[in-house]
Amino acid sequence: MGYGINTKKSKKKIYGYTPPLGLGMLARVAKDYGCDVTVNDAGPLGDDFESLIRKIVEFKPDIVGFSVFTANFAQAVESVRLVREHPALRDTLVVIGGPHVYTFREKTLADIPADVAVYGEAEADLIELLEFYDGTRASLEEVNGLFFRSEQGIVQTQETHSSRSLDHFGFPDWDQFDFSLYRNIPGQIRRYPMTSMVTSRGCPFRCNFCFQAGRFADKYRRYSPELVIDEIQRLQSRYGIREIQFWDDIFFINKKWVETFCRLIQEKKIDITWSGYARVDLISPELLRMARDSGCWNIFYGFETGTQEMLDFLEKKATLEQAVNASRWTREAGIISRGSFMLGLPNETPELGEKTIDFAIQLDPDYANFNIFFPEPGTGLYDLAVQSGRMLSGEYLGRSVPVYLPDGYQSIDQIRDLQKKAFRRFYFRPSYIAKRISRIRSWSEIGQYVDGAMMLLSMNKPKIPFAFATESSKTGQKGRNVF
């Protein structure tokens, strides 16, 4: 079903990989339909273009699927081209999907030589596509959520599946994954084997920089907590999973849901450690204590910026005071906090960027990430960036390479220098280093800190031409895999 590319030639240990959940979902749907399916996670497997094509030819597929992100667009184009040109794959149906297709719609087929682009809810649309392939649907026009090629040009079909309950879809085909391959970036996992997991889709908030809040935003839906707990127990009994990273855009979005989830973990005596994402305005001391008692040890907050002026501009619907409270309450609960901040935003100046760094140091989360703003297609800030005429590139080049130059900055080097300054001011504080050393409990933790320091120090090295990612792109790792 999905194949990928790894451009890293080094055999050194690479952090940042988690299972590609979207492909796992489609694999389960296809397998339930009666197909023979394989998901090839090329990044941790070390596949390059040559080995990718060799594996596809050996599998002799009727259908090959690629998940396209803006981050991996160039690699997706090359992968599909190689499939299209191989004589043994001439009759293979090539399907593409993913966020890039969802955003750019029919333009994706104009850029990538695939046969079909799925922009709708792929779990449901794939079944209909398989029915067409088997001849039980007369034409592609009867399949929901597609763009496909015809003699008249590119044709779009309607999508009617987007309101379905997630309980209807089930969970990924976990058998597709070798969990020994997956190691997240240093310090983000306590126990192995681990997996990522998603309990919801969409986001009800409308921050103007976020893809999930853009004009193609999905309706917010969530699995029932009981179903999630059942799946965790299955992951433990069948695969020995000891830790889960929840990749929901906001895991702590509904107090009642989270309370039920935490209560069930304790009632069933499930030995699991876990982490998730939260908003600063949805957290309370009581909820944090309940999460801690059920195994939560790590929470990620999108603080974004260090001034109320910029928070309001981003339509974040949160305050600096709420950020301060959330940080303090999380620390008091004994939970590790991670914070994300952006630099190089529209309306930002270097002085405002410095205030973001100052605020990050004031909050003092256990870990902080300073990303250079990337205009996500389909969002309000993407439109603003394009209209300003100050977009330097439409390609994703990683979170350390500016593709947009705000009016308040003189050059992209000024933004990159500010990002380097942010990391160094935050992580090389004597108080921060002393705190981290005091918490070391094993040699493996020392190794992770060394790896993390090397990642920071490598920021001065020349960047690769492209950085590309799977569903796990929130890690910010470069040299990832394409499906």
Q: How confident is the model at residue 469 (pLDDT cuts 50, 70, 90)?
A: very low
Output DSSP code: residue 373: P
pLDDT band at 5 (very low <50, low <70, confident <90, very high): low
Q: Which long-range contacts (CB under 8 A, 24 or more apart) does 143-148 make?
A: 144/120, 145/118, 145/119, 145/120, 145/121, 146/116, 146/117, 146/118, 146/119, 146/120, 147/101, 147/105, 147/106, 147/108, 147/109, 147/116, 147/117, 147/119, 148/109, 148/115, 148/116, 148/117
What CA–CA distance (Å, rounded) separates 384 from 120? 26
Predicted confidence (pLDDT) at residue 410 exceeds the cutoff of 90: yes
- Sketch out the chain's domains with CATH numbers: 21-156 (3.40.50.280), 184-391+402-462 (3.20.20.70)
**Mean of the per-residue pLDDT values for the chain?**
88
Query: 189: helix, coil or strand?
Result: coil
CB atoms near residue 190 (< 10 Å): 16
Q: How many CB atoms lie within 10 A of CB 483?
A: 30
- CA-CA-CA-CA dihedral for 291, 300, 14, 9, to nearest 10: 150
Segment of 5-19, 147-161, 237-251, 435-449 carrying the highest mean pLDDT: 237-251
pLDDT in the model for residue 219: 84
The stretches of 185-274 forming alpha helices (DSSP H) are 225-239, 255-267
Checking if the pLDDT of 398 tops 90, the result is no
- pLDDT above 60: residue 59: yes
Q: End-to-end alpha-carbon separation of the chain, Å?
A: 9
Q: Which residue has the higher pLDDT, 453 or 322?
A: 322
Reduced DSSP (H G I as helix, E B as strand, rest coil) percent helix, strand, coil of the chain, to 5? 45, 15, 40
Cβ partners under 8 Å of residue 289, min gap 6 = 333
CA-to-CA dists, residue 35 to 83, 119, 122, 301, 322, angstroms: 20, 22, 16, 40, 50
CA distance 398 to 479: 10
CB burial class (10 A; 0-12, 13-18, 19+) of residue 453?
middle
pLDDT at 449: 66
pLDDT in tens, 347-391: 999 999 999 999 999 999 999 999 999 998 889 999 999 999 999
Per-residue confidence band for 453, with pLDDT thresholds at 50, 70 and 90: low
d(CA 213, CA 388): 21
- The Cα 141–Cα 138 span in angstroms is 8
Q: Under 8 Å CB-to-CB from 86, ≥6 apart: which residues?
A: 53, 56, 57
Q: Is the pLDDT of residue 2 over 50?
A: no
Strands 243-246 and 194-197: parallel
Report the pLDDT averaged over residues 136-158.
94
98 vs 121: CA distance, rounded Å: 10
- Is the pLDDT reported for residue 459 higher than 60? no
* More confident call, 463 vs 435: 435
Q: Which alpha helices (DSSP H) does 268-349 contain, by range?
A: 285-293, 308-313, 320-332
Tens of pLDDT, residues 208-265: 999 887 777 778 999 999 999 999 999 999 999 999 999 999 999 999 999 999 999 9
pTM reported for the whole predicted model: 0.88
188 has a pLDDT exceeding 90: no
pLDDT band at 397 (very low <50, low <70, confident <90, very high): confident
pLDDT band at 438 (very low <50, low <70, confident <90, very high): confident
Q: What is the DSSP letter of 344?
A: S
Closest by CA position to 225, among listed 203, 204, 246, 195: 246
Lowest mean pLDDT among 99-108, 171-180, 210-219, 272-281: 210-219
Percent of the chain with pLDDT over 70: 88
CB 42, CB 52: distance < 8 Å = yes
Tell me the pLDDT tens digit for each residue of 71-93: 788 889 999 999 999 999 999 99
